[in-house]
């Protein structure tokens, strides 16, 4: 091979942050998807889908500032429109439901396995491309909807072979926390910034995070009631690996009430696996009557790591 030929040879490396799936990898991926589908459909959820391309403006109203400003893959198409590779599925769901709001029969129990893209720094548990299970219950307000969606998340973890001691479900409530902050004389305009900083725990230097929170008037004495009806109802269903944690807020501005995150309890990987919560007002940005909604998103990358960490089955035998 000449020097000139070697110089022009294409690399076999993938684009940074994405994965190739050889047959053995595809077997694991198909297993993860099959568990997702099996349990979601056992709970009577129906599958839907949509394109990975969306108008970029869809994410700018009530998304995560970090995702919108730092992580979205966007481009201008030949018609001059700004287009995004979807970073998450919830705004797409809201758009689809808003489009047929009057024709749909509620409550809706829908799920999707969506390919998503975020321009993140690749590391354990994070890639620039991932697949995500989204389960959403629309048209059921109050505790019963919250309990159902958390029960579904718990059932999926159990179907993967996880024991209750392998993971913990931490529950909080954004509305109650906001009320507590206001009661502690924190300015209303500071609340969104406080939520974003609380969500950055483990994602930025801790001293810097605490300093920024203190500047906004937040301190650890700001607490909310631990009388969470969601938790009590879950315990009645036999789900006991739950904990009320007022620091759980989630990173998206559209959440309006209960929020939760599922954490790996392994000393090797004490990290958030996935989460979700209640968002009752998202359809308002389309000018239609809002619908009470609660849901969650579970990524394939963190679940794959969880299966490896706990030495659980990686594919059907």
pTM of the model: 0.88
| CATH assignment at residue 66 | 3.30.930.10
- How far is residue 25's CA from residue 200's CA, in Å, rounded to a whole number? 31
Answer yes or no: is 178 within a domain: yes
Q: Is residue 136 part of a domain?
A: yes
| pLDDT number for residue 2 | 56
Q: What angle do CA 240, 241, 244 make, to 5 degrees?
A: 95
- Within the chain, where are the H helices? 3-8, 23-42, 65-66, 90-99, 143-159, 174-183, 191-199, 206-215, 229-236, 300-309
Closest CA to 224 of 198, 205, 202: 198
Write out pLDDT tens, residues 76-103.
999 999 999 999 999 999 999 999 999 9
DSSP reduced 3-state for 144: helix
Q: Can you read off the two tokens belonging to residue 160?
A: 């993967």
Q: What is the pLDDT of residue 316?
A: 63
Residue 203 lies in a domain: no
- 12 within domain boundaries: no
Does residue 213 lie within any of the structural domains? no
Query: Helix axis angle, 143-159 relative to 23-42, nearest 10°?
Result: 140
Residue 303 lies inside a defined structural domain of this protein: yes
Residue 254 has a pLDDT of 83
Q: Which phi-psi region, left, alpha or beta, contains residue 202 (left: φ > 0; alpha: ψ -120 to 50)?
A: left
Bridge partner residues of 299 (DSSP): 132
Residue 87 lies in a domain: yes
* Number of domains into which the chain is organized: 1
- Domain range for 241: 22-184+222-309
Give domain status of residue 158, yes or no: yes
pLDDT score of 269: 80
Note the pLDDT tens digit of each residue in 147-205: 999 999 999 999 999 999 999 999 999 888 888 888 888 888 888 888 888 887 777 88
The pLDDT value recorded for residue 60 is 81
Per-residue pLDDT tens digits of the chain, which is 317 residues long: 555 555 678 899 988 888 999 999 999 999 999 999 999 999 999 999 999 999 999 988 765 566 677 789 999 999 999 999 999 999 999 999 999 999 999 999 999 999 999 987 767 767 889 999 999 999 999 899 999 999 999 999 999 999 999 999 999 998 888 888 888 888 888 888 888 888 877 778 888 988 988 888 887 655 565 556 677 889 889 999 999 888 888 877 788 899 999 999 998 888 899 999 999 998 988 999 999 999 999 999 999 999 999 999 887 65
């Amino acid at each position: 091979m000449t020097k000139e030929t070697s110089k022009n040879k294409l690399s076999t490396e993938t684009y940074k942050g994405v994965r190739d799936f050889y047959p053995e990898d595809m077997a694991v991926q198909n297993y993860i998807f099959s568990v997702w589908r099996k349990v979601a459909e056992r709970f009577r959820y129906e599958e839907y889908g949509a394109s990975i391309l969306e108008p970029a403006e869809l994410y700018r109203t009530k998304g995560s500032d970090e995702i919108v400003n730092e992580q979205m893959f966007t481009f201008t198409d030949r018609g001059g429109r700004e287009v995004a590779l979807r970073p998450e599925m919830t705004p797409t769901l809201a758009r689809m439901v808003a489009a047929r709001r009057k024709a749909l029969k509620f409550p809706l129990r829908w799920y999707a396995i969506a390919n998503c893209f975020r321009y993140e720094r690749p590391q354990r548990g994070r890639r620039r491309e991932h697949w995500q299970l989204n389960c959403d219950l629309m048209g059921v307000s109050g505790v019963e909807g919250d309990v159902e969606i958390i029960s579904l998340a718990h059932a999926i973890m159990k179907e993967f072979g996880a024991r209750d001691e392998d993971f913990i479900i931490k529950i909080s409530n954004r509305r109650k926390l906001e009320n507590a902050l206001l009661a502690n004389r924190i300015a209303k305009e500071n609340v969104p910034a406080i939520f974003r900083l609380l969500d950055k725990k483990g994602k930025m230097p801790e001293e810097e995070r605490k300093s920024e929170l203190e500047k906004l008037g937040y301190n650890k004495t700001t607490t909310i009631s631990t009388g969470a009806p969601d938790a009590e109802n879950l315990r009645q269903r036999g789900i006991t690996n739950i904990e009320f944690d007022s620091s759980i807020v989630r990173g998206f501005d559209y959440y309006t009430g209960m929020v939760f995150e599922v954490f790996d309890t392994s000393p090797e990987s004490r990290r958030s696996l996935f989460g979700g919560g209640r968002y009752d007002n998202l359809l308002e940005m389309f000018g239609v009557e809002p619908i009470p909604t609660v849901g969650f998103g579970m990524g394939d990358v963190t679940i794959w790591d969880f299966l490896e960490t706990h030495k659980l089955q990686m594919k059907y035998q």
